[in-house]
A = this chain, B = another copy of it.
Amino acid sequence: MTVNDLYMKRACVIAFTRIGCTSPNPAVGAVIVKNGSIIGEGGTGAYGCDHAEVTAIKDAMQRGHDLSGAEIYVSLEPCSHFGKTPPCTDAIINCGISKVHVPLMDPNPVVSGSGIRKLIEAGVEVNIMHNYFQPASDLIRSFKKYILRGQPFVINKCAVTLDGKIAASSGDSRWISNEYSRLFVHKLRSKVDAVIVGSNTLVKDNPMLNIRMNDFGDDIKNSLSDCCGCMTGRDNFYLAELMKSEIKDYKDPLRVLVGIPAEITIDCNFFRDDNYLIIAGEKEYERALKTNKELKAISERLKIVTGSFDSHEDSVRFTLNALKEKGVMSALLEGGGALNGSFFNAGAIDQFMYVIAPKVLGSGIAPINGAPSERMSDSLLLRDVSTVLLGDNLLFSGYKEEYNFEMM
């Protein structure tokens, strides 16, 4: 590992810590080095606040450093346009930084390449670190989807038995997976803006859908950190950090309910605070209001978006648009078979993270209850597959598209 690699890795680690807190901006990390020492570093702030480069520059200044002749390592091309904040390229040029190291260009068409061009034109040396293209790309997958396709990046998370069941025939599913896997899911929730469930899960499980790091002891946390050593397949930086890192800054994701069951009770966990959104069909909502007086009573203050759609796939597209409007860049789909099936049929799942428990049920409920399939060759082939053993559970991760997918 060269010195450049070390600093760029540090920038990527910082970027990772910010995922989940910056949407709809990409999470970026920056490290400023002078005379062989780090003199400043930082990550992207919350939306509307400083970007990583500016955070790092301010950090260096606050520590009393003169930045002239310093080098900056950034996990993504610095922006060159005025958004909520001024361009980072200007901040870099003005403070006298003489060299910028970046692993990839910003996929945002407003930036893409122009940040680098602007730096070069101002006499700043730019070093493209191709060897960090993969890790840096993994860090901004959701931003890339959001900025290029105007939709959130959807991760379908499931715990399945070896014979592909998420629950027994009776519906009982506690517990398929082990504690490492469950901690992993709580960490994963800290990295997404929303968690999506369907009516069945809400009624059956009354889930909290929050992040509960304190449910897990240090032994579980430390063991999960150690698991990342046994990753096979593509070496996925994001996944490794997710296992390795201690999650410090996080907020509970937005709870999203797709559909509104008539039998919903307003004192369920889902309604415990305002951090939720219901997405339902107009008719379905009207029906629920008619039969459910509790619901009717709170209908004025209900956070609900209704639409009219003819199919489950339509409702998925409506959901994704509604989430996009709310600035949701990434969402964790924690559905049962029906909801997962609708998302799958709509082609709306970008990443599959399945935890496979070493258990055999022999029968039960499938993770995806999609439309009848005709041919094996029509199945969705997953890319960039990585697997990791979390204790005796196997995490299998694969994407709909390769890390270097280009869309427009």
Interface residues of A (CB under 8 A from B): 160-165, 167-170, 172-176, 230, 232-233, 341, 344-345, 349, 352, 354, 356, 358-364, 366-383, 385, 387-389, 392, 394, 396, 398
Assuming the A-B contacts A163-B368, A382-B360, are A376 and B173 also in contact, with contact meaning beta carbons closer than 8 angstroms in the complex? yes
Assuming the A-B contacts A341-B362, A344-B360, A360-B344, are A352 and B162 also in contact, with contact meaning beta carbons closer than 8 angstroms in the complex? yes
B contact residues around A363 at 8 Å (CB): 341, 366, 368-373
Give the docked Cα–Cα distance between A161 and B394 (Å). Answer: 15
**A/B interface sample: 22 pairs, CB < 8 A:** A163-B164, A163-B367, A164-B367, A168-B374, A168-B379, A169-B372, A170-B375, A232-B387, A233-B389, A356-B356, A356-B396, A358-B383, A361-B370, A361-B376, A361-B378, A361-B379, A361-B380, A362-B368, A362-B373, A363-B372, A364-B373, A366-B366
Closest to A176 in B: B376
Closest to A367 in B: B163
B169 touches A373 (CB 8 A): yes
Give the docked Cα–Cα distance between A167 and B374 (Å). Answer: 9
A373 touches B361 (CB 8 A): yes
B352 touches A379 (CB 8 A): no
A387 partner, pick from B163, B354, B389, beta carbons under 8 A:
B389
B contact residues around A345 at 8 Å (CB): 362
Assuming the A-B contacts A164-B165, A389-B387, A394-B387, are A371 and B376 also in contact, with contact meaning beta carbons closer than 8 angstroms in the complex? no
Give the docked Cα–Cα distance between A168 and B379 (Å). Answer: 9
A49 CB, nearest partner CB in chain B, Å: 38
A344 touches B370 (CB 8 A): no
Assuming the A-B contacts A358-B381, A382-B360, A389-B233, are A373 and B170 also in contact, with contact meaning beta carbons closer than 8 angstroms in the complex? yes
A172 touches B396 (CB 8 A): no
A359 CB, nearest partner CB in chain B, Å: 4
Give the docked Cα–Cα distance between A173 and B374 (Å). Answer: 10
Closest to A345 in B: B362
A360 partner, pick from B169, B359, B368, B392, beta carbons under 8 A:
B368
Closest to A364 in B: B373
Closest to A354 in B: B162
A359 partner, pick from B164, B176, B371, B380, beta carbons under 8 A:
B380
Give the docked Cα–Cα distance between A372 and B167 (Å). Answer: 11
A163 touches B366 (CB 8 A): yes
A358 CB, nearest partner CB in chain B, Å: 4
A103 CB, nearest partner CB in chain B, Å: 25
B contact residues around A358 at 8 Å (CB): 381-383, 385, 396, 398
B contact residues around A233 at 8 Å (CB): 389, 392
4 closest A-B pairs by CB: A164-B164, A362-B370, A358-B382, A169-B372
A373 touches B164 (CB 8 A): no
A350 CB, nearest partner CB in chain B, Å: 12
A130 CB, nearest partner CB in chain B, Å: 24
A376 touches B164 (CB 8 A): no
- Most chain B beta-carbon contacts within 10 A, residue among A232, A362, A377: A362
B contact residues around A392 at 8 Å (CB): 233, 385
B175 touches A376 (CB 8 A): yes
Give the docked Cα–Cα distance between A86 and B389 (Å). Answer: 47
